[in-house]
Structure 1
């Protein structure tokens, strides 16, 4: 019954989209129509309904969590089985490398780990992430990476992940999550590691002086926020 209902509504949605003035790009009307379709049908009827429940029983140290930025879910979008879904509440579990969905409805507290193999990309807020499935795990980690265009057809990919450590200095064991990062550069159709200055200079030898100057000038930023440091560095030497 759900499949028939979804199929019928798909034809209605198709008719709505045929009447939008912009055919070759996503317009605000198109996104609104997709949102109406998804919300009125209910999240349980969407293709990602079969994802497992997201469970989090962490007793973490204050200020620590397993997620990308915080435990708060942020509006975003996903491309799932070549279908776009918009205006969803999402978060990235960087400890287990899972994209988590908070279904619609204030009373529904069950969260879902979306099936990774079916996800090609997603956005959390304005930040785009892609699922790099093709990597050999002996060289690069597979999974979700933030995608950052850096100019001159250079793309920076940032892997956010966290190590888990028990802290036994309390009356009860608490968990400390330690942020880690891996940086990869796509240049001329090939992926290269870019985790230190030596690797970056090897990729951009003509910019060696600029790279050294940037490291010297922004050494405090590198200590405080290495992803932002690396984003700014790549944009600086490629623009």
Structure 2
């Protein structure tokens, strides 16, 4: 019922804008209208507010956390239960693979884990993540992946996750989170793991020399930023 109400009012307001203004762009105007509606109705009454409370009792070593990029909320967009929500406060818990919403404002302590099956995609830190529900989780981790790069008939997805372990050097029960990655390439309508060089060469045998050269030239980048290393490698192969 709430979704139908939101759509009905959205269509009515959108019609008013069409009659009275020249649209700068359909995307920007759609964002403005949705934001106006959510502000005036109140996001607490919308479907996106549904979900379990997000709890985090981690005691970590300095500068460690379970989140992608930052533990602070940032404005982003999400497509949830077939509806678009713009400029909402989000952060991504990559340890639990949960998208976390602050439905009010940055000063509020309320945090909600959005129902994962209802999240189609979201954008945070100017990066788009998609829910790859169709992946065979026996071979792949599944869940949210960054839709990182499109080249010809291939599409690169990156899974960010963290492993938790007790810090052996700490006197108390502090924990640390170790960043991990899963790289998946959608090529010719089939998903392929590309976590090591052999798997990449198997998909691009004609580029074996280029791939070997790249691994040799950018050893340090592979250690410092594995995700950027793979992104640049796929670009390099396709150039």
Cross-structure match for 1:120: 120
Cross-structure match for 2:89: 89
- What do residues 184-232 of structure 1 show as CA deviations (whole Å, max 9, x unaligned)? 1000100001001110011011111111111111110001000000001
**1:1-239 mapped onto 2 (5 Å cutoff):** 3=2, 7=5, 10-18=7-15, 19-20=17-18, 26-239=26-239
Change (3 A) 1:59 1:191: same
The alignment partner of 1:68 has SS state of coil
4+ runs deviating over 6 angstroms: none
For residues 133 and 57 of structure 1, what CA distance do their matches in structure 2 show? 29
The structural deviation recorded for 1:134 is 1.7
The structural deviation recorded for 1:106 is 4.3
The alignment partner of 2:52 has SS state of coil
Change (3 A) 1:225 1:206: same
- What do residues 95-126 of structure 1 show as CA deviations (whole Å, max 9, x unaligned)? 00000011223442111100000111111031
For residues 33 and 45 of structure 1, what CA distance do their matches in structure 2 show? 17
The structural deviation recorded for 1:79 is 0.8
For residues 3 and 140 of structure 1, what CA distance do their matches in structure 2 show? 35
Q: Which runs of 5+ in 1 are unaligned?
A: none
- What do residues 168-187 of structure 1 show as CA deviations (whole Å, max 9, x unaligned)? 53332101101110001000
For residues 226 and 7 of structure 2, what CA distance do their matches in structure 1 show? 45
Q: Which runs of 5+ in 2 are unaligned?
A: none
For residues 125 and 26 of structure 1, what CA distance do their matches in structure 2 show? 22
For residues 225 and 48 of structure 2, what CA distance do their matches in structure 1 show? 34
What TM-score, normalized to structure 1?
A: 0.92
The root-mean-square deviation of aligned C-alpha atoms, in Å, is 2.0
For residues 105 and 224 of structure 2, what CA distance do their matches in structure 1 show? 37
For residues 121 and 12 of structure 1, what CA distance do their matches in structure 2 show? 24
What TM-score, normalized to structure 2?
A: 0.92
The alignment partner of 1:155 has SS state of strand
The structural deviation recorded for 1:3 is 4.4
For residues 236 and 109 of structure 1, what CA distance do their matches in structure 2 show? 44
For residues 62 and 151 of structure 1, what CA distance do their matches in structure 2 show? 39
> Is the contact made by 1:150 and 1:231 (CA closer than 8 Å) also made in structure 2?
no
For residues 183 and 107 of structure 1, what CA distance do their matches in structure 2 show? 36
- What do residues 126-145 of structure 1 show as CA deviations (whole Å, max 9, x unaligned)? 10101011222211112000
For residues 110 and 183 of structure 2, what CA distance do their matches in structure 1 show? 33
